[in-house]
Chain A
Amino acid sequence: MITAEQKPIEEIREMIAPYKRILVAGCGSCVAECAAGGEKETGMLASTLRMAAKMDGKDVVIQEKTLDRQCVNEFVIQLDESIDQYDAVLSLGCGAGVQAVAEMYPEIPIIPALDTEFLGETMSQGLWIENCLGCGDCMLHYFGGVCPLARCSKQLLNGPCGGSMDGICEVNPEVPCAWQTIIERLENFKALERLEEVYPPKDWSKKQGRGPRKIIREDQQR
Chain B
Amino acid sequence: MTSDKKPVLALFYCQNTHASGEDERQALEQKYGDSLKLFPIPCSGRLEPLHLLKALEDFADAGYVITCPEGACRYFEGNLRAKKRVERTREMIKSIGLEEERIGFLINSKEGPKPLTDLADEIMDRLANLPPSPVLGPSVQGRATGSRQRSKGDKV
Contact = CB atoms under 8 A, between A and B. Distances in A.
Nearest to A45: B92
Nearest to B135: A51
Interface stretch (B16-24, B34-42, B67-75, B93-101): B93-101
Given A51-B57, A51-B135, A55-B134, A44 B95 contact: no
Interface in A15-53: 40, 43-44, 47-52
B49 interface: yes
Nearest to B140: A54
Q: Which among A8, A13, A40, A55 has the highest number of chain B CB atoms within 10 Å?
A: A55
A10 B134 contact: no
Count class of interface residues, chain B: 10 to 19
Q: Is the interface of A mostly helix, strand, loop or mixed?
A: helix
A55 B96 contact: yes
A47 B96 contact: no
Interface residues of A, number: 16
A44 B96 contact: no
Contact of A48 (B48, B92, B134, B136): B92
A40 B136 CA distance: 23
Contacts of B54: 43, 47
A51 B48 CA distance: 17
Interface of A: 8-10, 13, 40, 43-44, 47-52, 54-55, 57
Given A44-B92, A47-B53, A55-B97, 6 more contacts: A9-B96, A40-B50, A43-B53, A48-B53, A51-B57, A54-B136
